[in-house]
Structure 1
Amino acid sequence: MWLLDLQRTPRLILICIVLGVIGALGAQVFLLLLQFFDTYVLTAIGGFQTIDVETAHATAKAPQPFTHWYWWMPVSTTLGGLAAGLLIYGLAPETEGHGTDATLIAFHRNNGRMRARVPFVKTLASAITIGTGGSGGREGPTAQIASGAGAIIAQLFKLPDDERRIVILIGMAAGLSAIFKSPLGTAIFAVEILYSRMTFEGAALIFTLISASVAYSITGMFSGFTPLFLLSESSRELIPLDLLWFSLLGVLAGVVGAMMPWIYYGVRDWFVALKVPRVIKPAIGGLAVGLIGIALPPITGGGYDYMQFVLQGGSGLTIGLLLLFTFGKILTLSLTVGSGGSGGVFGPTLYVGVMLGGAFASLLHMMHIEIDGGWLAVVGMAAIFAGTARVPIASMVMVIEMTGGFTLIMPTMLAVAIAFLVQLLLSRHAKYPTIYECQTSTPADSPIYHKAYYQAAAELLRRQQVYLDRDILDSQLQAALDSDEGIAMRMRQGRLYRLSIPPGSPVAGSEVRSLGLDKMGTLIVGVFRGESDIIPSGSTRLQVHDSLLVATTDESILKFRALIAPPQAEESPS
């Protein structure tokens, strides 16, 4: 096809422009659908009318909860959940939950492939879920709209797999840029969100920058170029002592950031185990959210209005209410999206950060410590998402662009770094360490890169004169994992073995580099731990029951077996 006749870089730039346009227009369609369901379902049936950001900015104080009871709210949210469930499980089950994970699956496991119906189903299902009062974010749907369009383009023109993967990141950046008015931050987000350990898909960054810029420019034609949120001008300037409060906020954000995935996936797993048809689970989640919304509608829906109230520092909300909003939002998000409803987690996570920052500011004011509450709300927004999603650079840039708080770059950097490190420490052994389940730690842990890493390991073996035929990696690797017998390698100068670390092994808990494998001519090519495949580095710590894929010689395997054997096994006759 004609597109394949172009060189790679011009071809991807052209796709950037096309997806930038699609991302911007797709975001506008999604917002119109959201407004439709908000007006004709949430307001007409549920009786609750949301406030836009501009109106909230012009209002002195936020409406106080518990002054009016919205008894019809459960009807709106339940109907929305039921309609979304029928749509999702009837047409495209992969559109359940937050769409960012679906994009991550497409990148890590499917070489950038998605079904063509996915972006359309996701758009409608998410608009129904959020517009009827479900607690979800806008980023997942818009990310999947544009990345799905990229997958369609890649399929039509039969692009190679490496370009398919870049194309869905291009689409993700475009959709997010359009919905959040953050071209630089979303371009970085698209290449940072793939991994949870400060690793980027750097080859795609130049292209995500282009698509995000195009989408932002077109979006500005519809809604102007003002930031998503509007900050009031502060009456004071930053002083060195303020850094202490921002640092403490970073610690709090790290703690909440470690709790949030645990709560979210705990609720999600409960719904997975629930013995009812999948199609009605979003309705059950919607009913639960609606019952909460009878008294606390501010923690349903998108919540941008109350975020604006707190960001401008004059919300009139007490510390108790702000904390209730903080943890209540985590619960309603978990019920909405964890039940199978369609929506993102980024927006609700920002809400949690804003409320946590506002609550901390209220606490400081009670202690007669003067500081701008809006500053702490902005920084809390970035710090929570940096920890919860493990995307510190993107979080910092996106929040600054979304609020126009460029004078807060320095305290945001500090709080984001602290929140990231605290969350990393607290969740290092967690089943769900981040809010994005389909992130991998590094490219080495991504299925799409496993073959390349195994091939690199084979080249290393060749340089060490321990030979491994590349074909073994495809034809005999699985057999090696299922058998205690080694596999002969090229020229019969070495073999490939599968060995397990037994209980009581002296190497359990040791780093690979401390084992002296170079001296015995042995290389650990892979570590299989549960459902994870790990390409080991020198700092990788071995654990009991790890299955090791080991390349070595016939003589050295005896030394390696003795090395990993428990002491009693060494003393017994062979």
Structure 2
Amino acid sequence: MWLLNLQRTPRLILICVVLGVVGALGAQLFLLLLHFFDTYVLAAVGGYETIDVETAHAMTDIPQPFTRLYWCLPISTTLGGLAAGLLIFGLAPETEGHGTDATLLAFHRNKGRMRARVPFVKTLASAITIGTGGSGGHEGPTAQIASGMGAIIGQIFNLSDDERRIVILIGMAAGLSAIFKSPLGTAIFAVEILYSRMAFEGGALIFTLISASIAYSITGMFSGFTPLFLLLESSRDLVPLDLLWFSLLGALAGGVGALMPRIYYTIRDAFVALKVPRAIKPAIGGLAVGMIGIAMPPVIGGGYGYMQFVLQGGTGLAVWILVLLTFGKILTLSLTVGSGGSGGVFGPTLFVGVMLGGSFAGLLHLMNIDIDSNWLAVVGMAAVFAGTARVPIAAMVMVIEMTGGFTLIMPTMLAVAISFLVQLVLSRNTKYPTIYEYQARTPADSPVYRETFYQTAADLLRRQEVHLDRDILDSELQAVLEGGEGISLRQRKERLYRLLMPAGSPVAGREVRSLGLSDMGVVIVGIIRGEGEITPTGDTRLQVRDDLLVAANEESIRSFRDLIMTSSKNDAQDS
């Protein structure tokens, strides 16, 4: 096809342009659908009208929780969960949960592939879930819209697996940039979110920068180029003592960042174990969210308006209410997305961070410590997400861009670093260390690069350029070799296999040269014998219980297995 006739870099740049446009327009479509369900279901049926950022910025008094009870909210959230569940599990079960994790799964395990229906089902299901009162973020759907379209492009033009993986990152950056108005931060996020240990997919960064910039530029034509949230100017300057409060906030954020995945996945796993049809589970989660929202509506939906209230300071909310909103949002997010509903986790995590920062500022004010509450709200937003998702660089840049708080870069850096380290320590050895289940720890832990590692190791062994010792076979390489399929030798038809010489083998005691292996197309590249290792020559005699490392094609390895196993099988049958 014509696209494949281009050089790799021009080809990917062209795809960046296309997905930048798709990301921006997809985000606008999603917001229109969200507004539709928000107006005609949540407000009309549930009796609750959400507050957007602009409205919140213009209001002088924040609506107080517990002063009015919204008794019809459970109807809206339950109906939304039921509709989303039927849509998701009827058409594309992989669209349940948060879309960013689905993109990570496609990158690490599915060679950049998604079904063509995924972005369309995800868009509608997420709009229904969030628009009817479900507690989810906008970023998951918009990320999956553009990354899903990238997967479709990869399928149409038959791109290589490597390029498919880059393309879905390009799409993710575009979708996130359009929804958060953060081109630099989201470009970094797309290459940082893949790993939980300060690693980046650096080769894709130049392309995510291009797609994110294009998506941001087009989005600005619809909604302007002002930041997503609006901050008030501070009446004071930062002083050295303030760093102490930012450091303490970073430590608190790290604690919340370790707690949040545990709560989320505990509830998710409970729903997985629930013995009811999968399509019904989001309705059960929606009912629970609606019951909470009767008295505490700020924790349903996206909650951006209430984030703006806190970010502009002077909310008038008591500290205990802000703390309640912090943990209430974690609970409603877990019930909505963990039950199988569709939505992102980034937005709710930002909400948790803002409320944590606001409550910490309120506590300091009760102690007569003078510090701007909006500073702590901004820094708390970045610090909680940096810990929960382990993306410190992206979290810092994204939050600064989303709020325009460029003067807060230094305290944000400090709090983000502390949060990351605290979360890392507290979540060590836990089953779900971060909010993203399909993050790999490092590139070496990703199936993408694990295969490359295996191939490199196999090539070296095949050419006998490394010393063969037991440590090699005691590693993860051993499990792969024993899997039966072998490891591909790069640019060769042969694969590397591991076989054990059985008792009663007819070739036990025979020299390697006498086996006719060259005619068979087999090479024994190494032998583990007892505690030692042998690089075989023609006069090496094979012994029972030898571990053989063998290079052969599929037909040859079958012949070799028959050769060393025949007598053993006959002995077993005779007995």
Decide whether the 8 Å contact of 2:108 with 2:447 is kept in 1. Answer: yes
AA at the equivalent of 2:54: E
Structure 1 range deviating more: 20-29 or 438-447: 438-447
Question: Quick one: percent identity of the two aligned structures?
Answer: 77
Q: Which residue does 1:485 correspond to in 2?
A: 500
Provide the secondary structure at the position in 2 that maps to 1:369.
coil
CA distance in 2, matches of 1:33, 1:221: 19
CA shift at 1:314, angstroms? 1.5
> Structure 1 residues 496 and 386 mapped into 2: Cα distance closer, same or farther (>3 Å)?
farther
Cα offsets for 1:101-124 (capped at 9, x unmatched): 110111011111000000000000
CA shift at 1:456, angstroms? 2.2
> Structure 1 residues 322 and 454 mapped into 2: Cα distance closer, same or farther (>3 Å)?
same
CA shift at 1:429, angstroms? 1.1
AA at the equivalent of 1:495: I
CA shift at 1:463, angstroms? 2.5
Between Structure 1 and Structure 2, how many residues are aligned? 505
Q: Which residue does 2:306 correspond to in 1?
A: 306
CA shift at 1:172, angstroms? 0.2
How do residues 398-417 of structure 1 correspond to structure 2 at under 5 angstroms? 398-417=398-417
CA shift at 1:496, angstroms? 6.4
How do residues 227-306 of structure 1 correspond to structure 2 at under 5 angstroms? 227-306=227-306
CA distance in 2, matches of 1:42, 1:164: 38
Decide whether the 8 Å contact of 2:526 with 2:533 is kept in 1. Answer: no
CA distance in 2, matches of 1:394, 1:247: 19
Cα offsets for 1:260-318 (capped at 9, x unmatched): 00000000000000000001100000000000111000000000000000001111111
CA distance in 2, matches of 1:484, 1:521: 15
CA shift at 1:492, angstroms? 3.9
CA distance in 2, matches of 1:406, 1:550: 61
Q: Which residue does 1:81 correspond to in 2?
A: 81
How do residues 58-73 of structure 1 correspond to structure 2 at under 5 angstroms? 58-73=58-73
CA shift at 1:450, angstroms? 1.7
Cα offsets for 1:542-568 (capped at 9, x unmatched): xxxxxxx9989xxxxxxxxxxxxxxxx
Provide the secondary structure at the position in 1 that maps to 2:444.
helix
CA shift at 1:495, angstroms? 3.1
> Root-mean-square deviation (CA), in Å?
2.6
CA shift at 1:494, angstroms? 1.9
> Structure 1 residues 36 and 424 mapped into 2: Cα distance closer, same or farther (>3 Å)?
same
- Which of 494, 504, 517 is the equivalent residue of 2:526? 494
Decide whether the 8 Å contact of 1:100 with 1:143 is kept in 2. Answer: yes
Q: Which residue does 1:464 correspond to in 2?
A: 466
Q: Which residue does 2:377 correspond to in 1?
A: 377
Provide the secondary structure at the position in 2 that maps to 1:305.
helix
CA distance in 2, matches of 1:451, 1:366: 56
Runs (5+) with no aligned partner, structure 2:
487-496, 503-511, 535-546, 551-575
CA distance in 2, matches of 1:486, 1:238: 72
Structure 1 range deviating more: 373-382 or 457-466: 457-466
Cα offsets for 1:512-563 (capped at 9, x unmatched): xxxxx9xx779xxxxxxxxxxxxxxxxxxxxxxxxxx9989xxxxxxxxxxx
Decide whether the 8 Å contact of 2:92 with 2:121 is kept in 1. Answer: yes
Provide the secondary structure at the position in 2 that maps to 1:342.
coil
Cα offsets for 1:199-242 (capped at 9, x unmatched): 00000000000000000000000000000000000000100000
Decide whether the 8 Å contact of 1:99 with 1:143 is kept in 2. Answer: yes
AA at the equivalent of 1:463: E
Q: Which residue does 1:211 correspond to in 2?
A: 211
How do residues 502-521 of structure 1 correspond to structure 2 at under 5 angstroms? none
Provide the secondary structure at the position in 1 that maps to 2:500.
coil
AA at the equivalent of 2:99: G
TM-score scaled by structure 2? 0.84
Cα offsets for 1:362-395 (capped at 9, x unmatched): 0100110000000000000000000000100000
Decide whether the 8 Å contact of 1:178 with 1:212 is kept in 2. Answer: yes
Provide the secondary structure at the position in 2 that maps to 1:194.
coil
CA shift at 1:55, angstroms? 1.2
AA at the equivalent of 1:478: G
Find the structure with the greater CA-based Rg. 2
CA distance in 2, matches of 1:336, 1:315: 27
Cα offsets for 1:14-40 (capped at 9, x unmatched): 000000000000000000000000000
Runs (5+) with no aligned partner, structure 1:
500-516, 523-548, 553-574
Q: Which residue does 1:117 correspond to in 2?
A: 117
TM-score scaled by structure 1? 0.84
Decide whether the 8 Å contact of 2:499 with 2:548 is kept in 1. Answer: no
How do residues 185-200 of structure 1 correspond to structure 2 at under 5 angstroms? 185-200=185-200
Decide whether the 8 Å contact of 1:196 with 1:439 is kept in 2. Answer: yes
